Structure 1
Amino acid sequence: MSTLSGSFPKSAPGLPRGRTRLDPLDATAHQRARLQRAVVAAVAEKGYQATTIADIVQRARVSRSVMYREFDGKLDCFLAAIEGGRELVVARISHAMDEVSGGSLETVLRAIIRAYLETCAAEPDHTRAWVLELAAAGPAGVRARDRYLDGFAALLSEIDRDYGSGRARPIEYYIALVGGITELVGREVRAGAESSLPRLEDALTMVAVAMLR
């Protein structure tokens, strides 16, 4: 089941009320989480431009007033959802790195590439939303996409220093590698083959090792 995306059907229970209601802070967190999952699901299905506030609140089963209490609008909600997804991806990559700490360059790169591809495959809506739709959200979306890619480039620079060449090269070197990976992932996503992303593990590992050795 997706962690980052989902709609809440009308038959699903709403948030607890009355004596069993959630603490206000917990209720707010649940509502924000519903809205973020809903915007990712809507954007993945309809595209960013075609997604409306109505699409988001209907999927989240919250009111418009809750939407505007928690977020400035569609863009604010979408960017928050993408950032939450980025944090999940980074956490899973970091866990994979910890498990192979001290290994060879290939071992470390294979571990993080596998974690990344498996997470992308397990979260197809988030993957489609950030890879294909984030730039459609205007300048703020482009900046968020750049931060997403720059974070991966910084990680590769760290791996290069610790496991590869022993030095940090210009950041553009790593951005080029990240861009190539993103292009291959994007092609699978555009083809509707998100579940097949793990098959890219060998190719991406070979390319990354060649560039960082």
Structure 2
Amino acid sequence: MTTVRSLHDREAVPAAADDTGGFRQRLLDGLAASIAEKGYRGTTVADIVRRARTSRRTFYEHFASKEECFIVLLTAANAEMIRRVSAAVDQTAPWTTQVRQAIEAWIACVESEPAIMLSWIRDVPSLGDAARRLQREVMEAFVSVIQTFCDTEEWRAAGVGPVSRQVVIMLLGGLRELTATTVEDGGRVGDFTEVAVQSSIALLGPRAEA
């Protein structure tokens, strides 16, 4: 999952005066960096403002709580992931190639910030209504994107697609859990690329919709 700056860049944000948008982004970057170090639950507002090199007063001028800051961070990160996955897929390519392109782009996003993705998967379900709404909205956005990919002449000519919402949800759920357990076990997400590609092809193929 990708945000605007790398973790290295976040650490290098200068302490100089900034405009309102700049302060807001610094706080988001501070949260992301703290999650990478100690996880969302271990992160405090004090950690965020220290990394952003600003004050608690500034934090509360932009966000009502740590959870609200987290939701804004994840909203932007998921929007960027959807954009990158969409851009990676050549809809004129064979359908199996399109699946590989989408999976590889998704994994590249996760590998850029695995701690953020893990927090998205593990922490959001236990948070409040706003976080759960975001989780549902993001799932629906991914469902829409994948169904759009699978409903083209290229897919229909191959005897696959359109793909049902239920199948897409199963696909997304499997990828999320495989990602979470891999990161928790200290593994590299990219190592399961081939498993993810082949499993997705099998799930999205003709038998899945028979």
TM-score range, shorter chain: 0.7 to 0.9
CA distance in 1 between counterparts of 2:198 and 2:141 reads 21
The 1-side partners of 2:13 and 2:161 are apart by: 54
Query: What TM-score do the two structures reach when normalised by structure 2?
Result: 0.83
Amino acid at match of 2:86: S
1:19-34 → structure 2 map (5 Å cutoff): 27-34=19-26
Equivalenced residue count is 198
**Residue segments in structure 2 that go unaligned for 5+ positions in a row:** 206-210
Larger mean Cα displacement after TM superposition, 139-148 or 27-36: 139-148
Amino acid at match of 1:134: V
Report matched runs for 1:1-213 at 5 Å. Answer: 3=4, 6=7, 13-16=14-17, 27-97=19-89, 100-162=90-152, 163=155, 165-169=160-164, 171-193=165-187, 196-213=188-205
Corresponding letter in the other structure for 2:176: T
User: In the aligned structure 2, how far is the partner of 1:64 from the partner of 1:6?
Assistant: 21
C-alpha separation between the residues in 1 aligned to 2:141 and 2:113?
19
> Does the 8 A contact of 2:44 with 2:66 survive in 1?
yes
User: Secondary structure of 1:192's match?
Assistant: coil
102-111 vs 40-49, which moves further: 40-49
> For residues 107 and 56 of structure 1, do their structure 2 counterparts lie closer, same or farther at Cα, with a shift above 3 Å needed?
same
Q: Deviations over 1:90-138 (max 9, x none)?
A: 12112201xx230111111100110110111112232222122222323
What is the CA-CA distance between 1:204 and the residue it aligns to?
1.2
In structure 2, distance between residues paired with 1:140 and 1:12:
29
TM-score of the superposition, structure 1-length normalised? 0.82
Change (3 A) 1:66 1:95: same
CA drift of 1:2 comes to 7.3
Which amino acid letter does the alignment assign opposite residue 122 of structure 1?
S
RMSD over aligned Cα, in angstroms? 2.4
SS state at 1:48 partner: helix
What is the Cα deviation at residue 29 of structure 1?
1.6
Deviation at 1:160, TM superposition (A): 2.2
More displaced 10-residue stretch of structure 1: 27-36 or 42-51: 42-51
Secondary structure in 2 matching 1:175: helix
Q: Cα distance, 1:72 vs. partner?
A: 1.4
Give distance in 2, aligned partners of 1:192 and 1:175.
26
Aligned equivalents of 1:112 and 1:103: distance in 2? 12
Unaligned runs of 5+ in 1: 17-21
Question: Any conservation in 2 of the 1:161–1:167 contact (CA below 8 Å)?
Answer: yes
Seq. identity, %: 27
